[in-house]
A = this chain, B = another copy of it.
Amino acid sequence: ARPRVGYFYTGQTSGTILSEEIKKLKVKEFQSLPVVISGSASAYKAVCEMFVEDVGSLFVVDDKGLLAGVISRKDLLRTAIGSQDMNQVPVNVIMSRMPNIAYCKNNDSVLDVAVLLITKEIDAVPVVQAKDTGFEVIGRMTKTNITKAFVSLSSGESNKF
């Protein structure tokens, strides 16, 4: 069909246009750099690392650099008001541990990650790459990244028609 001025052919409602534009947004375009820590580091060191790097979650890696756990500001706050000495508690005692960790790949859609964060009630997931013996952490997706993706939609940056 020959397009006319003022019309454009879609065969779609505006709802599906919207939905398809959103599904085009990929993790790789919005992810942040991951901040990792060793499982043997102290909870105190983890808090300092969070403030220095200004992140709300750290990814815990084993001695091969593979994903072993995730530790959040909430985990650390729980420990901090407990009776334990933050310098004595290692991160791997209080972290969420593999395989009970949500993660994503950099080719996933931002939408899938948004649904994952909402469903699991978490603030961040590691972006991983599969290796023979586990997952290498290559990025970080948080509700901040989702918020930035939301803003980018309105600015037309993602308009690829």
Contact = CB atoms under 8 A, between A and B. Distances in A.
Interface of A: 1, 4, 6-11, 13-19, 21-23, 44, 47-48, 50-51, 54, 56, 73-74, 76-78, 80-81, 86, 110-111, 114-115, 117-118, 121, 123, 142-144, 146-151, 153-156, 158-159, 161
Q: How many copies does the complex hold?
A: 2
A76 B159 CA distance: 41
B114 A147 contact: yes
7 contacts: A7-B10, A18-B156, A47-B77, A73-B73, A80-B80, A117-B144, A147-B147
Contact of A159 (B18, B54, B143): B18
B118 A161 contact: no
Contacts of A17: 14, 17-18
Contact of A1 (B6, B153, B156): B6
Contact of A144 (B13, B143, B154): B143
Contacts of A56: 74, 123
B151 A115 contact: yes
A44 B81 contact: yes
B77 A114 contact: no
Given A8-B7, A17-B18, A22-B153, A73 B77 contact: yes
